[in-house]
Structures are given as C-alpha cells and as structure tokens.
Homo-oligomer: A and B are copies of this chain.
Amino acid sequence: MRARKIARPTTLSDVARLAGVSPATASKALNGRDEVAPATRQRVIDAAERLAFSPNQLAKGLFAGRTGTVGLLTSDLEGRFVIPILMGAEDAFGAGQVNAFLCDARGDEIREQHHLRALLSRRIDGLIVVGRQTDPRPSLGHDLGVPVVYAYAPSDDETDLSITPDNVEAGRMAAEHLISLGRTRIAQISGDRSYAAARDRVTGANQAFKAAGLTPVGDVMFGDWSETWGRDAAAAMLAQHPEIDAVLCGSDQISRGVLDHLRDIGRSVPHDVAVMGFDNWLVLTTNARPQLSSIDANLKQLGRTAAERVFAALDGEDIGTGIELTPPRLVIRGSTVARLG
C-alpha cells in the first residue's frame, strides 16, 4: 500500500465518459428509466461493470432520502446473540439493496449514544437495537427520525416495538419434553435470578409441571450462568434429592456442569438422569457427553422478523407496538431419552 496512491472512486461521470454519453443519460440507463435506447443502456451498463462503479449512496441519499442502510446497535459484548440476529436480518434484506451495519456499544451508554449519533448522521433508514438480556432496556425515544425495532432486549417503553424470545414458552416446552419422556422427579437448576430469562423459563416450566400434576423436586436453584455453578448446584441438589430423574437447566453452560457432576458421582445420563439446557450453543451442546438437548431461541428468525418490521415501517405501514414474542424450538439430542421401564 503506497501512500497517496489512493485512487478516487469511480463516479457516474467516469462511466458516462467511457460509454461515450452524458452523465444524465448514464444515470437514466443505470436506474432503469425508459427514456434511453436499449443499445445505449447496454453500453452504459457494460462501462459501469468494467469500472466496478458503485453509485455514491451519499449523494444519492441526499435526494432520495433513502440510503439503503440499516443500523444494528448492540450491547452484546460477546456477540453470541447479535450474530445470529444480524444474519437473520441480512437474510430478510436479501442480496438486495440493503446493508446492515453493526455497532457495538459494549453495554456503555455513552458509547451507545455515540454510535447512535454516528448511525443517524449517516442517514441510516432504520435501526435495530439488540440487547444482551431479555430484560427491558431504556428506550431510545421516538424522535430519531427513523423506525426503530428492539430485538432480544425489549424497550421499556410500550409504544416501541420489541421482538424478544418467548422464554415462558421455552420453559414450558422443555418441561413438557421431559414429562413426555416419563420423567417425574425433575429438578431445576437455573441461572442468574436477576435475569428475566431465568425467571421466565422457570415460570414456563412450572406451568407445565402443574398442568401435568407433577411437583418439582426441591426448590429451583438460582445462581449464575456458569458451568461451575452447574456443578456446584448439581452436587447440592443430588446430595439432598438422589431420586431425581431429570434436571432442567437454565442454560447450556449450566447443563455442562451438571453433566460433569453426574458423571463424577457415577449417575448415567440419559437413562438414569435426563438433562436439558437452553440456548443451543453448539460448541457446548454438540461436544457434551452425551450431546445435550436444548431449546433454541431461533434468533435468526428473530432477526429476520425485526428487519421485516423495519422495512414495513419504511413503507409506511403501521408495525404496531409492544412486545412481540418469537417461538422457541426444541432440539433433542442424546441427553434426553425416555425412561427405561
């Protein structure tokens, strides 16, 4: 990379010159207006191709008012949630005209404001705000000039539109799966009680237990989201309730810890004890022994939905307000099978 060798990007005029027409004609030709002869149009298109011309969206946007860019503002440090959401959003945009730009605020409000300004000042058409937990987050307000959709973490303002995984349903689904396998002595080892995700999943599971006439074994144990907590909690739980035939965990990490402890004390998974996780984090679930059943939050689908809502708003549709829940998906692997006998 030599200094100053930097070539000016190709402009419409460059294309026009190469095609031997005026910029105006080139513009019409490339934009599919029909006041131009087919042969001329082809010449222009060829020239554009040859120069790898990409129209300056900025100058274009000055006019059209649309830039074809959607911003993704995240606070999700590790990118564990935001990446699938980004992918889903991009899928919704298609290979078409729209691009997603991702900014990471790292959970820092100053940084978030900074990125927000940057995105807005670049005249993005819409904004998707992604949080790292399902607890409500402060609204960015309504005066941004572009449609905003909150993904994963809902806005605390009910007049915003938020799309978030249905963790109550996820909990219910997980519990029903264990029940359907004939498990009746089910314990819950959850994550951080301060997370709505932890509480909601427990709520859903308890609904399922109640509906099936089952009483969960022991109290739900809340801790943190780590493998270590899963091990410790499993040790305490099994010491007190050795009769357990299934453990419903708050996350895949916790499940891994629980699996570890069960192996340590010689309990067999899945026949003796079945284990379920949440999140379907592949690096954890598919490498476990046995592989872990889990609930997938369908984040890609969530991202797609969020993007579709942004589009709809751009097209002038009323996309509604409040919290829209997306359904989870049960992923069955070796850690949950029907009870023998």
> A residues within 8 Å of B by Cβ?
1-9, 52, 54-58, 61-62, 67-69, 77-80, 82-83, 86-87, 90, 95, 99-104, 106, 110-111, 114-115, 117-123, 142-143, 145-148, 159-161, 226-228, 231, 253, 256-257, 260, 283, 287, 289, 313, 316-321
Is B7 in contact with A143, judged by CB distance below 8 angstroms?
yes
Is B83 in contact with A95, judged by CB distance below 8 angstroms?
no
Chain B residues contacting A5 (CB-CB under 8 Å) are 142
Closest to A116 in B: B54
| Cα distance A143–B226 in the bound complex, in angstroms | 48
Chain B residues contacting A57 (CB-CB under 8 Å) are 118, 121-122
Is B3 in contact with A122, judged by CB distance below 8 angstroms?
no
Instruction: From B104, B148, B313, give the contact of A86 (CB < 8 A).
Output: B104
Is B118 in contact with A69, judged by CB distance below 8 angstroms?
yes
Count this chain's copies in the assembly.
2
| Cα distance A226–B283 in the bound complex, in angstroms | 8
Task: For the complex formed, measure the closest distance between the CB of A108 and the CB atoms of chain B, giving whole angstroms.
Answer: 10
22 inter-chain pairs at a CB distance below 8 angstroms, sorted by A residue, are A1-B159, A1-B313, A3-B313, A3-B319, A6-B146, A7-B143, A9-B123, A54-B118, A54-B120, A54-B121, A56-B123, A58-B58, A58-B61, A58-B121, A58-B123, A68-B118, A86-B104, A99-B115, A99-B118, A102-B103, A227-B287, A260-B289
| Cα distance A3–B148 in the bound complex, in angstroms | 12
| Cα distance A46–B236 in the bound complex, in angstroms | 60
Is A145 in contact with B101, judged by CB distance below 8 angstroms?
no
Is A287 in contact with B147, judged by CB distance below 8 angstroms?
no
| Top 6 A-B residue pairs of the complex, sorted by shortest distance between their CB atoms | A227-B287, A79-B79, A101-B101, A102-B102, A54-B121, A99-B118
Closest to A99 in B: B118
Closest to A77 in B: B83
**Given A3-B317, A145-B8: A83 touches B90 (CB 8 Å cut-off):** no
Is A121 in contact with B55, judged by CB distance below 8 angstroms?
yes
Interface centre among A86, A121, A319 (most CB of B within 10 A): A121
Please give 19 more A-B residue pairs, beta carbons under 8 A apart, in addition to A58-B62, A102-B102.
A1-B142, A1-B318, A1-B321, A3-B319, A5-B142, A9-B145, A54-B117, A54-B121, A57-B122, A58-B58, A79-B83, A86-B104, A95-B110, A99-B103, A99-B114, A99-B119, A253-B283, A256-B287, A260-B289
Closest to A90 in B: B104
